[in-house]
């Protein structure tokens, strides 16, 4: 028996900040994950709640932090996204994934799908 995610959504992405994990779910079933993540550091916390996937940019560049953001899947109006990044250093709010997971999320999450962030 696969342990369910801590989220209430049945389709989309689930993020659990306290365990640094994320999943993709379809029809109440885990189809990918859990994968390790890092999230927002103190002062740049990743917000909790339900958010729609807003846009995707394959080769994004963060102007505020002058850094690459490959495979960006944005889910807040303030610029929070899943993207390839360090799994040891906290982010400025984004969800860092390893290269394989970042590409999976980019490819498999659709505009409008829900991203749920829980503590």
Report residue 69 as tokens.
């953001």
Tens digits of residue pLDDT in 6-62: 999 999 999 999 999 999 999 999 999 999 999 999 999 999 999 999 999 999 999
Is residue 65's pLDDT more than 60?
yes
CATH entry, 12-118, from 2.40.440.10, 3.30.70.2520, 1.10.540.10, 2.60.40.1220: 2.40.440.10
Sheet holding 81-84, edge to edge: 55-62, 67-74, 81-84, 95-97
Q: Catalytic residue at 83? A: yes
| Per-domain boundaries in the chain | 12-118
Q: Catalytic residue at 94? A: yes
Name the pLDDT band for 93 (thresholds 50, 70, 90): very high
Among 7, 14, 83, 96, the one annotated catalytic: 83
C-alpha closest to that of 21 among 2, 11, 7: 7
- What pLDDT score was predicted for residue 55? 98
Residue 14 buriedness (CB in 10 A; 0-12 / 13-18 / 19+): buried
Mean pLDDT of all residues in 100-112:
98
Is residue 3's pLDDT more than 90?
no
- What pLDDT score was predicted for residue 2? 61
């Amino acid at each position: 028996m696969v342990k369910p995610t801590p989220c209430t959504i049945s389709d989309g992405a689930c993020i659990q900040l306290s365990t640094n994990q994320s999943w993709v779910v379809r029809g109440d079933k885990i189809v990918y994950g859990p994968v390790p993540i890092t999230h927002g550091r103190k002062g740049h916390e990743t917000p909790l709640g339900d958010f729609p996937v807003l846009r995707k940019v394959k080769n994004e560049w963060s102007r505020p932090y002058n850094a690459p953001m490959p495979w960006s899947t944005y889910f807040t109006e303030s610029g929070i996204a899943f993207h390839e990044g360090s799994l040891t250093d906290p982010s400025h709010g984004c969800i860092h994934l390893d290269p394989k997971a970042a590409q999976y999320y980019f490819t498999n999450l659709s505009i409008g799908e829900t991203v749920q962030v829980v503590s």
